[in-house]
A and B are shown apart, each in its own frame.
Chain A
């Protein structure tokens, strides 16, 4: 019996192996109804995008294989050939059409405003939200829409890396509204109680599949398959199964099937020359650099201040103080700073609701304090004992010895590693984008997503980081020279 079962498995896998593979990329973190791990068997995927991909693969006579990729990297990843098509809630935008081979749209969605139930009816348009905070997913049509409203209607845009935390923050009172795709809003209202979604859409958009630039032949074959599945009702039944078939889809299907040319994409970003877009982003990049430098300086100041206390406590404190500080240092150094930021911002939000910038400052500052304290402790212990004894025999008290002899000498030892840490902190400050602070790297990736290329934004961003970090290294080098140079 067992032998037969084994044989069957072997045969089945052999059959699978013979069938060519069709690789499609998406982000399973995006969750239902797009792509999510099957709760009954987490090794399997489910969602309407999964089923659409299966239909495409079937039409091509291939076996679908899923490639996990972060949502914001789908475009870059398909372009470099990690998979044939990217499709999990990928929006139809002009830069995408310009940079990649895009399929016909296969689903029409609407950007809708979600608010707390008690605000129902209060904010039916973006204009009604003047001076209020609106959360959305960075790099999307909704994000562009909110950004435009920042200028025209005076709302405040808060960008997230995922579509779950905006709704949690809305419930917690950190936001006044969330603008996102209607199917995300519907799902989130099931998950987070006490929310209400305005039925009139703010904007309309479409999901498409994206292929690498030169891959137009495959794109055209996929378009044929998609049209055929629209015609024969397969897509409708998939959408019905996932509860996303709504009154807009029949008209949308009809318009797609009637047009031979691809449907005109949603015009949220006016088609402008590349150079104009680049110039338009420069002020935003400079503003983001300012946030990076202010955040880094403040966090470093906190790290130095706290680090000095921790190091002094570990060198001079009683056993209990020493043990507590050692635990602090080991825990902070032994866990990822990303986790610490999440805990500070989201984990503690039921106890204390820190503003994002403060949480970022505390997270980076307290994390680096642990590293600084180790540098200072090492430096304090590196000051020769003879120096301390000489100071003691002159009648200096222990605190004077620390302040006038040991501290200044330790500082000179610590300066070089401290400078290294400051430069590292400057770069690590890019992590705080996970808690909605838009700094230089985040702004760059938004920029890149909008123009559909990393080349110019990447060069600009790198140049700005160098402009920020080089003077620091120079200053530290000069101080070291001054202390080392002969003054004869």
Chain B
């Protein structure tokens, strides 16, 4: 059963056509790696699904909540969408003025109206699972990149969205940390979560993703089993992507 389906998504900013008819579908429990060279539109696709961008054509269906072209969707639609989609940003965007614990409890107390004690209890459990509970009183600027990322995951997970979007989570991690992150994400899908992750890192995709989708020049050019697609690329864009990864 598909939890996310994107149909013919088109988006332009000024003269530039950024997405030229993206089609993709994600089933519940999948860990999809969305790959492509920089400027290919990966992040834009995630932002459209999180309703942070409006688009010109097509449709996005998140478990029955449908986003359509045009200006900001109605408030009720947005509210409904927020309960289904969580997002972890590449630069984390932790709330600078709040401690780690307060970052994680803000939405549960203010949006879901959980009692403070209960929200803290659950936040601590999440931080424990992610291995950053000891940093609960730190401010975001005092965290390392890896710690900040795990806090950002905990913050998004605290609202228990069925679908979690992650933008370039591997970008700032060394190989050992990348492995840890992969294990964590696989655990999350095991617990019934669905993940869509943009990445440049084909090793990461090969090791942890259930499926890979290659995006180039605003279109999906290839998709399928990561081992197959990344070992035996069919499309020029995929080959270039793998080459650039080798050079790096």
B-contacting residues of A (Cβ < 8 Å)?
384, 386-387, 389-396, 400, 404-405, 408-409, 412, 483, 486-488
Contacts and interface: CB of A to CB of B under 8 A. Distances in A.
Contacts of A405: 95, 97
Contact of B83 (A395, A486, A487, A488): A395
Interface string B123-155: 000000000000001110010000000000001
Contacts of A387: 93, 95-96
Contacts of A400: 110-111
Given A395-B107, A487-B138, A488-B138, A390 B95 contact: yes
B107 A394 contact: yes
A400 B155 CA distance: 17
Interface in B87-122: 87, 89, 91, 93-97, 99, 106-107, 110-112
Nearest to A398: B75
Contact of A384 (B85, B93, B97, B111): B93
Most buried by A among B94, B111, B159: B111
A392 B93 CA distance: 12
Counting contact residues on chain B (CB < 8 A from A), the size range is 20 to 34
Interface of B: 50, 52, 79, 82-83, 85-87, 89, 91, 93-97, 99, 106-107, 110-112, 137-139, 142, 155-156, 159
Contact of B93 (A389, A396, A408, A487): A389
Contacts of A384: 93
Given A393-B156, A400-B111, 6 more contacts: A386-B91, A392-B52, A394-B106, A394-B107, A394-B159, A404-B110
Across the A-B interface, give the 7 residue pairs with the lowest CB-CB distance, nearest first.
A395-B82, A390-B93, A394-B107, A386-B93, A395-B111, A393-B87, A408-B97
Interface of B is mostly: loop
A390 B89 CA distance: 8
A396 B50 CA distance: 13
Most buried by B among A390, A392, A405, A412: A390
Contacts of A408: 97
B197 to A, nearest CB: 16
Contacts of B142: 486-488
A393 B50 contact: yes
A393 B52 contact: yes
B163 to A, nearest CB: 12
A387 B110 CA distance: 16
A413 to B, nearest CB: 11
A404 B86 contact: no
B222 to A, nearest CB: 29
B137 A487 contact: yes
Contacts of A412: 97
A408 B106 CA distance: 14
A393 B85 contact: yes
Contacts of B110: 396, 400, 404
A393 B83 CA distance: 9
Most buried by A among B50, B83, B95: B95
